[in-house]
Structure 1
Amino acid sequence: MNAEEVKVSEWEGYQRKDFKLDGHECILVIPKEAHPGKPWVWRAEFFGAFDYADRALLEEGWHIAYMMISDMYGCPESIELMEMFYKYITETEGLSKKADLFGFSRGGLYSVNYTVKNPETISTLYLDAPVMNVTSWPGGYGASERYPKEWEECKAVYHLTDENALEFKGNPLNKMDQLLKAGIRIMLVAGAVDSVVPYKENGANLAEYYQKNGGQIKVIVKPDCDHHPHSLEDPAPIVEYIMKNFEEVEK
Structure 2
Amino acid sequence: MEIMNLPSTLSKFENCYWMHEFELDGCQCKVVEPISPLPGKRWILKAEYFSAFPVFELEMLKRGYYFVFMQLEYECGSPRSLAHWDKLYDFLTGEHGFDRRPILFGLSVGGLYIYNWTARHPEKVGCLYGDNPVCDFKSWPGGKGVGAGDPKHWKTMLKAYGFADEAEALAWKYNPADNLKPIIDAGIPLIHAAATDDTVVPIQENTDILEKNCLALGGRITVFRHPGGHHPHHAVADLPGLCDLIEKSALC
Does TM, scored on the shorter chain, surpass 0.5? yes
- Post-superposition shift, 1:76? 0.7
- Post-superposition shift, 1:183? 1.1
Tell me what 1:28 maps to.
31
- Asked whether 1:41 is paired with 2:44, we answer yes
SS at match of 2:180: helix
Tell me what 1:11 maps to.
13
Tell me what 1:183 maps to.
187
1:34–1:61 Cα contact (<8 Å) kept: yes
- Post-superposition shift, 1:231? 4.2
SS at match of 1:42: strand
1:37–1:95 Cα contact (<8 Å) kept: yes
- Post-superposition shift, 1:233? 5.7
- Post-superposition shift, 1:138? 0.9
SS at match of 2:170: helix
- Asked whether 1:208 is paired with 2:218, we answer no
Task: Tell me the distance in 2 between the aligned counterparts of 1:23 and 1:72.
Answer: 14
Structure 2 unpaired stretches of 5+:
1-5
Task: Tell me the distance in 2 between the aligned counterparts of 1:93 and 1:159.
Answer: 33
- Post-superposition shift, 1:219? 0.8
- Post-superposition shift, 1:146? 3.3
- Post-superposition shift, 1:81? 0.5
How many residues align? The count is: 246
Tell me what 1:66 maps to.
69
Q: Deviations over 1:34-58 (max 9, x none)?
A: 1122210110111121221211110
SS at match of 1:229: coil
2:25–2:87 Cα contact (<8 Å) kept: no
Kindly provide the amino acid, as one letter, of the partner of residue 205 in structure 1: I
What's the TM-score once normalised by structure 2's chain length? 0.92
Structure 1 unpaired stretches of 5+:
none
- Pairwise CA RMSD: 1.8
Call closer, same or farther: CA 1:180–1:246 in 2, change over 3 Å.
closer
Task: Tell me the distance in 1 between the aligned counterparts of 2:100 and 2:168.
Answer: 38
SS at match of 1:38: coil
- Give aligned-pair identity as a percent: 33
2:160 to 128, 134, 157: 157
Task: Tell me the distance in 2 between the aligned counterparts of 1:234 and 1:18.
Answer: 31
- Asked whether 1:221 is paired with 2:237, we answer no
2:115–2:176 Cα contact (<8 Å) kept: yes
1:113 to 100, 113, 116: 116
- Post-superposition shift, 1:206? 1.4
What's the TM-score once normalised by structure 1's chain length? 0.92
1:192–1:226 Cα contact (<8 Å) kept: no
Call closer, same or farther: CA 1:27–1:218 in 2, change over 3 Å.
same
1:52–1:234 Cα contact (<8 Å) kept: no
